[in-house]
Structures are given as structure tokens and as C-alpha cells.
Amino acid sequence: MAESQMISAIKDKNMTAIIFWLKTHHDAYRNRVEVTTTNGNQEINLTDEQKELLNKAIEMAALIPPKENSNE
């Protein structure tokens, strides 16, 4: 029944329903973060600054909740 309602909303040009359907049924429209490296199997040691930048990027991508009591 819920899927039928979703299809009806899409037919009624409900943009929220359209976006939801695309993000949940088509890989090209999914939210994603891709991290690639050319280091092979070598261990990567990040500096504290690099770790902070990486954590900030992950927070901005909304993959983890922001830290409480942030000074930013």
C-alpha cells in the first residue's frame, strides 16, 4: 500500500517523492562518499591536521553526527 501511495505521489509530480524514489532505487542518485588511494597495501599515517580535516569532511557529508561542544 505504501508503494502504491509513493507511485501516486510521483504521478502527481511530488518532487520529494520523486527524489526519494530515485535515491532509493537507482545507484546514480544515491548519496555517497568515495575515498580512493594509490598507496597499495601500505599503511597510511595521517598527521593530526589531516585527521582533523578528514573528520570534518565526514561530518560535512553527514555520515557521523557533529561533535558536541565544538568551538567552530
Q: Are residues 20 and 30 in contact, defined by beta-carbon separation less than 8 angstroms?
A: no
Q: What's the Cα-to-Cα distance from 20 to each of 5, 6, 48, 72, rounded to whole Å?
A: 13, 9, 38, 32
CA distance 72 to 67: 10
Does 15 map to a domain? yes
Q: Does residue 21 lie in a domain region?
A: yes
pTM: 0.44
List, for residues 15-48, the tens digit of each pLDDT value: 999 999 998 888 888 877 677 777 777 888 889 9
Give a yes or no: residue 25 inside a domain. yes
Domain contains 20: yes
7 domain-assigned: yes
State the residue range of the domain holding 24: 2-33+45-60
Does residue 38 lie in a domain region? no
Residue 50 lies in a domain: yes
